[in-house]
Structure 1
Amino acid sequence: MKIAVSLLALPLALSVAACGDTWGERAVTGGGIGAGTGLAVGAIAGWPLVAPVLVGTAVGAGIGAATTPKK
């Protein structure tokens, strides 16, 4: 069950990652989505929660900032 939930959470998080128009908005929203995903995965896996949240935040913010559309 834990693996099934984890496999569903990741694509959902990636599909809504980095909503916003500017570089900063996308980094902040991507970081928030990454933090929530890291928290969920860490809780489901039974890990201590701080490390998955920090990693999720960093990855989400990086992806959000990197995928800002050029206008």
Structure 2
Amino acid sequence: MKTIQKCVFAVMAAAVLLSAVGCEGMSRRDKNMAVGAGVGAVGGAVLTGGSALGTVGGAAVGGVIGNEVGKGNR
């Protein structure tokens, strides 16, 4: 089970990094929100053992936090 979690974490981290590269036309605030959602999704998945609800919840919370952090970057 731990091996599967590590693989899922690695795949999610790679997806977040690759998606950040494709954000060329986005504002800094939008980028912060996207990165926050990605990190939150990975964190939620890890903390809840891969639960879909935990992953979606983590993404939502991370997106909100990234959006709020992005407000200061004008």
> Over aligned residue pairs, what C-alpha RMSD do you find?
1.6
1:55 corresponds to: 57
1:34 corresponds to: 40
How many residues in Structure 1 have an aligned counterpart in Structure 2?
47
Mapped to 2, the partners of 1:61 and 1:22 lie a distance apart of 13
Return structure 1 stretches of 4+ with deviation > 4 angstroms. none
- Alpha-carbon shift at residue 30 of structure 1 (Å): 0.2
Structure 1 residue ranges without an equivalent (≥5): 1-20
Q: When the two structures are superposed, what TM-score results if normalisation uses the length of structure 1?
A: 0.60
Matches within 5 A, 1:1-71: 22-43=28-49, 49-68=51-70, 69-71=72-74
Q: Percent identity between the aligned chains?
A: 23
- Alpha-carbon shift at residue 67 of structure 1 (Å): 1.1
Q: In the alignment, is the contact (CA less than 8 A) between 2:28 and 2:73 conserved in 1?
A: no
Q: When the two structures are superposed, what TM-score results if normalisation uses the length of structure 2?
A: 0.58
Name the amino acid aligned to 1:56: G
